[in-house]
Amino acid sequence: MKRRMFLERCAIGSVLGTLRGRSPGPLGNITDSIWTETKKRPVGGSRFDVAVIGAGVFGSWTAWHLAHAGKRVVLLDEYGPANSRASSGGESRIIRMGYGADENYTRLSMRALVLWKEFFARTGTNLFHRTGLLWIGKRETTKAKEIQETLTRCGVAFEKLDHRELTKRYPQFDMNEMTCGILEPESGALMARRSVQAVVNDAIKNGVVYEQLAVETPRAKGPLTSLTVNSGNQITAETYVFACGSWLEKLFPEVLGQRILPNRQEVFFFGVAPGDASFTPPAMPSWISLHDDTYGLPNLDNRGLKIAHEDFDKRIDPDTQIRIVSSEATDRIRQDVARWFPSLKDAPIVETRVCQYETTSNRDFIVDRHPGMENVWLVGGGSGHGFKHGPALGEYVSKRILGTITPEPRFSLATKQVVPRHTPIK
């Protein structure tokens, strides 16, 4: 056999092995594993302790924690874990401890980072990059002072950097106007899509039943007795958790239609020059501007430099929105890249993504019972900063369901401000 033909057949065999779920990497083939496991466990006619609807970061971690607490759990998602339509479906997300004066979220993020690291160590899926998180500002703002004070109270390590140190350490940035820097050295970035799929895969191994099914909107008055899914089956559970992200307001408009604002975010990846490692960790940190709404991540997994703005004005329908970035956003981001990173002024855009937030009026999460169906829990309001908190919030939700933790008033529906549909959130 000729050498070329032999190599081609070896390559084909390798591909077929991967398609059969025999990939030898540390992640294996996560989606194949989910598919294989679920085919063994049809849900029709089964009764569960808890049904979790939505396999994003909140739902998957809630199911994971409940399974580890000994509950029989079914996890449903109409498009699949961390699918391309979901808020959890992006390539990467920042994990940071700084939240201004808000100690609650700093401590929740601290707990989440511990749980992420423990999970990755136990499963061999190292999807956390300790890039550090750099806050950059033109001056030491009130928020900058509050970040430092809160990190100090919570025992989080950080460095305060002046203009000279910023310029010296990070020459890839244009730091000419920047006089204030706060570096969280232990923070960084999570590979979002693959992390959620890894959590679902591990949950299945620990007894969670997963199915890709759509559910009909429940219309019960009083306790919900069952869910109807698109297969025609009924799924019955003692407790139901809806963690459906931007779809929550569509499922429960009478409760959440004025409380959650789904909005679109346009994300860009810029290609770096050949052989240029200055935009790759450890040379490049994840970063957030203290004086505008810009943030970015370094060149992770060779995807390119990620940069985006937070924009809360563009209300969307998660089922019908156009998932192509606008020319206006492209022009704006090119100007910002040229301003922040002069060497990338003419760099190619190698990837774009439209992701979505489901933002509450005060950006607090929602974890509460449905006011008309006492065994239904509503979990959402990620507000663009929720991904990092996934394991800690899932832990909190599971303990709320089990009745083993004091409720956090800020997550209650009763404390949410009402947002008129015509008023954009700033």
Query: 12 by DSSP, 3-state: which?
Result: helix
What pLDDT was estimated at residue 418? Answer: 45
d(CA 295, CA 309): 6
Q: What is the pTM of this model?
A: 0.89
Q: Please identify which residue in the block is written with the tokens 């109807």.
A: 228
Structure tokens at 106: 């700093």
Q: Name the phi and psi angles at 350, rounded to 5.
A: -100, -15
Structure tokens at 227: 């869910």
Task: State yes or no: cis peptide before 282, omega within 30 of 0.
Answer: yes
d(CA 44, CA 233): 5
d(CA 394, CA 410): 16
Structure tokens at 422: 């015509």
What residues in the chain have per-residue pLDDT under 70? 1-45, 416-426
Query: 163 by DSSP, 3-state: which?
Result: helix
Question: Domains plus CATH for the chain?
Answer: 29-87+193-259+363-415 (3.50.50.60), 130-188+261-357 (3.30.9.10)
Scored b (16 or more CB within 10 A) or e, 200-211 reads bbbbbeeebbbb
Q: Which residues are paired to 261 by β-bridges?
A: 359
DSSP state of 129: E
